[in-house]
Amino acid sequence: MAWIQRSIELPAHSRGFHLITPLVLRAIPEVQGLRTGLLHLFLQHTSASLTINENADPDVRLDMETALDAVVPEDQPFRHTLEGPDDMPAHVKASLLGPSLTIPVEQGQLALGVWQGIYLCEHRNHGGRRRLMLTLLGE
């Protein structure tokens, strides 16, 4: 069994859901050499999150953002407003979706479903670069 861990910096994205599966696979090509294993992703931020969802129809990304905005609107009377009106809603959204994912590895590939992709969910209007920790275990 082998453990591999590395950190990558994701480019700054606008608010929304951004497919990062290709970036993850480029960052940890050792996945291809594993028969079985697990890839754990951990986003080191409190106003963005990770999720797995449909990767074929881009309307899904827009609908996900619209749905989260309806659940956590920016016009709520939040107390934490020092970093702007999008900051506290971003923290709530990040807590709802979470900072981490664990994906099985099977025969050198992430065992994602046919229509699944890994998404960075940027909840700030201008969130900046994001750091992602990748931990791979397998044989």
pLDDT in tens, 41-52: 999 999 999 999
Q: What pLDDT does residue 34 have? A: 97
Paired tokens of 86: 């999008």
Q: How confident is the model at residue 38 (pLDDT cuts 50, 70, 90)?
A: very high
% of residues, the chain, pLDDT over 70: 100
Task: pLDDT band for 87, please (50, 70, 90 cuts).
Answer: very high
The pLDDT assigned to 31 comes to 98
Flag whether pLDDT at 2 surpasses 90: no
Can you give the pTM of this predicted structure? Answer: 0.95
In tens, the pLDDT along 89-136 reads: 999 999 999 999 999 999 999 999 999 999 999 999 999 999 999 999
Q: For residue 122, which phi and psi values (nearest 5 degrees)?
A: -90, 115
- Integer Cα distance of 35 and 118 in angstroms: 21
Domain count for the chain, please give it: 1
Let me know the angle formed at the C-alpha of 18 by 27 and 3, rounded to the nearest 5 degrees. 25
Q: Tell me, what amino acid is at 43?
A: L
Query: With 90 as the cut, is the pLDDT of residue 9 above it?
Result: yes
Question: What is the C-alpha to C-alpha distance for residues 42 and 49, in angstroms, rounded to an integer?
Answer: 9
Give the domain range for residue 37: 2-138
Give the model's confidence band at 1: pLDDT under 50 very low, under 70 low, under 90 confident, else very high: confident
Q: The CATH number of the domain where 28 resides is what?
A: 2.60.120.460
